[in-house]
Amino acid sequence: MNRLLLSGSLLQRGAPRFTPAGLPALDLLIQHQSTVEQAGHPRQLSLEMKAQAVGEVTAVLAAMPLGRQARFAGFLASARNGRGWLFHVTEVEPADDAV
């Protein structure tokens, strides 16, 4: 199964565009920070992940203020250039405690 759940904040959002099939699309940058336990020791995590949204979810993301905390769900696929990964966001739920 290829499913990714990530909490973080919307750091950047590209200009709205349309796919060749006419679907709305957005390029995104999501920032995540947390502490996890690894081998019995705490580890600080901080990362920025390139993401893309296509379809109805783009309306929620287009209206979301930058910096807003949310829970993002979707899947990973190879980036278009074949280097690295791209997070395809299919669902977003703004965090209740976000400003």
Distance CA 84, CA 43 (A): 23
Tell me the per-residue pLDDT of 47-98, one tens digit each, with 9 for 90 and over: 999 999 999 999 999 999 999 999 999 999 998 888 889 999 999 999 875 4
Give the whole-angstrom CA distance, residue 4 versus residue 60.
Answer: 19
Report CA-CA distances (Å) from 67 to 13, 25, 31: 11, 20, 9
Angle, CA 71 vertex, CA 57 and CA 51 arms, to 5°: 60
> What's residue 97's pLDDT?
58
- Residue 50, in any domain of the structure: no
Q: How many domains does the chain have?
A: 1
Instruction: Assess if residue 33 is contained within a domain.
Output: no
Tell me the residue range of the domain where 93 lies: 1-26+56-65+81-99
**Cα 17 to Cα 52: distance, rounded to the nearest angstrom:** 11
User: At residue 19, does pLDDT exceed 90?
Assistant: yes
